[in-house]
Structure formats: C-alpha cells, structure tokens
Homo-oligomer: A and B are copies of this chain.
Amino acid sequence: MSSTFGTLFRVTTFGESHGRAIGGIVDGCPARIPLGVEDIQPHLDRRRPGASPLATPRKETDAVTLLSGVERGLTLGTPIGFSIPNADTKPGDYAEMETVPRPSHADFAYAEKYGLRARSGGGRASARETAVRVAAGAIAEKMLSVYRPVQIVAWVESIGEIVARRPDLATLTRADVDATLVRCPDPEAAPRMAAAVESARTAGDSLGGVIACACRGVPPGWGEPVFDKLTAMLAQAMMSIPATRGFEIGEGFGATRMRGSRHNDPFMAKPGGGIRPATNRCGGIQGGISNGEILFFRVAFKPVSTIGLPQHTVAFDGTPVVFEAKGRHDACVLPRAIPIVEAMAALALADAFLQQQIQLVPRPAPSGT
C-alpha cells in the first residue's frame, strides 16, 4: 500500500514530477462536509514553488480541480478525486539523470528497485508529489473542523545552526508563521535564517533544519494501541515526507537524558471537574493515545540534495563524472515544507478521529429505563 495512507480517512495518490498530472483520491470523508476548491487552493499556494524569493523559480500554478465526491458545495460521502496538472515540465533539465544518478537522490535506489531508469529519476521521490499530500490534508483539515476545533500549526524551528526560541504553543497562529519569509515566528532568528539561506544559495550549497509542529484541540482518546499508536502514525506520516531524517515527540531525544522523576507528568484537578496532566513533557500522547494536551513534535529535514556545487561521483556505468545540478531547486526546503508537515498531521489526526468515533457510538437506554 505504498500510495495509500489511513485506515478510515484514506488518501491514495499518483503522479510523477514530469507526467501529465498528479492527483489523488480521498476515500472515507463523511458526507455533508462543506468543501470547495477554495478550501484547498490556499494550502497549495503556501507550498507552491515560485511563491517565495527563497524558493525554486519553477513556476507551477498548482491549480487543483475537484473531479468527484462534491456537489453543491457539500461532500457526497463518495471518493473525492482531484488532480493538479504538471504545467511547467522541462524534461531537458533532467536528461542527465538517465545516465548519472544524482548524489543522495532516489535515482539509484529507484533504478535498482524497478529495473529501469525513469526520465525524472526517482519520480515518486520528487518533492512535487507532496502537493497531493497538501491537497488531501486540506480536505482532512476541513473535515476535522466540522467536528472538533483542531488547530495545526507548524513552524521552522531551526535552519542549519540557527535555532529559534520556542513560541507560545497555546497561541501561535499560521499568520504568525507566515509573517516571515522563512516561516519562523522568532523575529530575532528569522532574518538570520533568511540570510543563511541566501548565503548557501550563493555558494551553490543547501541547508537543512527542523520543523516543529503543535496541534491544539485534540481531545483525549485519539490513537490506537500497539502498532497504530498516534505517535507511530505521526512518525510514519512525517518520515514519509521527502528529505526527513528524524522525528521526535515531546521532549524527544532530550528525554533520554532526564530521570523519570524529572520527565514524568503528574496529574492535577481541572477547575471545572475532571483531571489533566499538570505538565506536558510527553507532547500530548501517552501510551500512544492523546491525553487532551497540545501535541508537540519535531521533524528533521536534511539539506537539499540538489546543489550547484560540483560533486565528484560516477555514472550508472561507473564512469567518474563531476556532477553539477542544472535543474531548478531550493537552497532550503523548510519554509515550503511547513504546509506539508501540517497536511500529514491533519491526515493522521483525521484518521485517528474517525477511528475513535467507534468507541463513542450512542447506545440505546437499557430496557426498563
């Protein structure tokens, strides 16, 4: 099931970076959810190449078309098919890939897996594939909004060595994040990050970084035990994004250096009744199941593999070559990856939400009452 994500809210995607179109099918979205292109396109525009002076100059309008599953502004309960044309393909840029596997790209692994070399190298490994995730995630987010006030906000926490201060997770908005070109809400770090990206670009090099994400409004009970823990599904979701190298939740790797007495989250009484954790070092998930606190996780992105600097490598036939990328590329993908992280979080949460509804099915009153 390489191209399908989710058990109940299921998205299946298709598309290489240089074919006619990319697209997907969202199956399992309940009926009577208000939905239109206007709910999806803004998310795609946030991810779109060419939207930022920091990003690749490739121009894609990324105009999504809804093909089915929606009528008069409401979902029908049937599969929502959608497509996004590949408008600005320049196969010439990629001709070299058929003879030379790009260092740290998927070209070599794909050729070994499938026994052929595609024009666009590891076609499904292209960042272009992520536009479909963003569209599907927008549908997931819209669906969730009908039932629960879930808010998902991701931001750039670090680029290279520059690390932003932690924002207030309870109040941070996407507008705060989008206020800077690098999508970092720390006004002190953001310009330094932008300068670092510009410097790397000028040098023909690239940078990685960390994206952090907070999800507010997730009630207790989402996530399934054992293999489909919410932690595990978020990890799969994030580590399926191209260029990701790590995932951590709550205190993450930092927790490994704490003692239990320091890391544990004791409980407290809530003013209006009921209890809740008094601290949130676990990042909102315990035993794989949400506990009502803010979900907080971080995703590591490696530096972009496509760089302008010459690289000493070999062709598929073993011939030494000096490879210099000519294609269009970003020096740092993190700002554009923000909506992708949010979309994958939305997909994981939409599925967890629907699965949990099984526990909440109303029962008739016992006879005699």
Given contacts A76-B123, A357-B361, A361-B357, contact A206 B260 (CB under 8 A): yes
A63-83 interface code vs B (CB 8 A; 1 in, 0 out): 001111101101011111101
Tell me how far the C-beta of A131 lies from the nearest C-beta in chain B, rounded to whole angstroms.
12
Given contacts A240-B228, A288-B125, contact A68 B300 (CB under 8 A): no
What is the bound-complex CA distance between A83 and B101, given in angstroms?
Answer: 32
Contact between chains at A266 and B311 (CB < 8 Å): yes
Which of B32, B68, B227, B263 has a CB less than 8 Å from the CB of A5? B227
Q: What is the total number of copies of this protein in its complex?
A: 4
Q: Residue of B at shortest CB range from A366? A: B146
Which of B2, B71, B253, B289 has a CB less than 8 Å from the CB of A225? B2
Contact between chains at A32 and B245 (CB < 8 Å): no
Q: Residue of B at shortest CB range from A113? A: B221
Q: Is A53 an interface residue (CB 8 A)?
A: no
Kindly identify, within residues 18 to 71 of chain A, every residue whose CB is under 8 Å from any CB belonging to chain B. 19-25, 27-28, 30-32, 65-69, 71
Which of B30, B83, B113, B313 has a CB less than 8 Å from the CB of A266? B313
Seed contacts A31-B114, A108-B286, A261-B311; 14 additional CB < 8 Å A-B pairs = A3-B224, A16-B68, A19-B69, A103-B267, A104-B286, A105-B286, A108-B220, A114-B221, A124-B287, A206-B260, A208-B263, A245-B256, A253-B253, A354-B358
28 interchain pairs, CB-CB under 8 A:
A4-B12, A8-B358, A13-B79, A14-B78, A30-B361, A31-B113, A31-B115, A77-B114, A103-B267, A104-B260, A104-B282, A109-B285, A110-B289, A113-B289, A113-B359, A122-B225, A205-B260, A226-B240, A227-B236, A231-B240, A246-B255, A253-B300, A255-B300, A255-B302, A260-B307, A266-B313, A275-B314, A278-B313
